Amino acid sequence: MAISPASTNVASQILSNAGEVYHNLSVPVLYEHAVKRHEGKLLQGGTFAVFSGERTGRSPKDKFVVRTPEISEHVWWGNHNQPLSVDVFERLRAKATAYLKDKDIYLQDCVVAQDPDHRKTVRVITEQAYHSLFARTMFIPSSPKPADSNPDITIIHCPFLQLEGEADGINSDAVVALNMTEGVILIAGSAYAGEMKKSVFTAMNYYLPLDGVLSLHSAANVDPRTGKSALFFGLSGTGKTTLSTDPERLLIGDDEHAWTESGIFNIEGGCYAKTIRLSKDAEPDIFEQTSEFGTILENVIFDEDTREVDLDNDSVTENTRGSYPLESLRNVYTEEVAPHPAHVILLTADAYGVLPPIARLTPAQALYHFLSGYTCKLAGTEVGITDPETTFSPCYGAPFMALNPTVYAELLEQRLKMTGAEVWMVNTGWTGGKYGIGKRIAIRETRQMVRAILNNGFGDVTFRKDAVFGFEVPTAAPGVDSKLLSPRDCWADKAEYDATYASIAEKFKANFAQFRNLVKPEVAQAGP
Q: Mind telling me the catalytic residues?
A: 58, 198, 217, 236, 240-241, 255, 321
d(CA 118, CA 267): 9
Q: Using CA atoms in the order 274, 278, 284, 287, what is the torsion angle rounded to 10 degrees?
A: 70
Q: Helix (H, G, I), strand (E, B), or coil: what is residue 413?
A: helix
Q: What share of the chain is helix, strand, coil (3-state, %, to 5)?
A: 30, 25, 45
Q: Do 105 and 75 touch, CB atoms closer than 8 A?
A: no
Closest to 52 measured CA to CA, from 408, 300, 423:
300
d(CA 353, CA 487): 7
Please report the DSSP string for 363-400 in residue order. Answer: HHHHHHHHHH-EEEEPTTSBTT--S-EEEE-GGG-GGG
Q: Do 367 and 519 touch, CB atoms closer than 8 A?
A: yes
Longest Cα separation, the chain: 69
Give the type of residue at 50: V
- Residue 336 neighbours by CB distance under 10 Å: 14
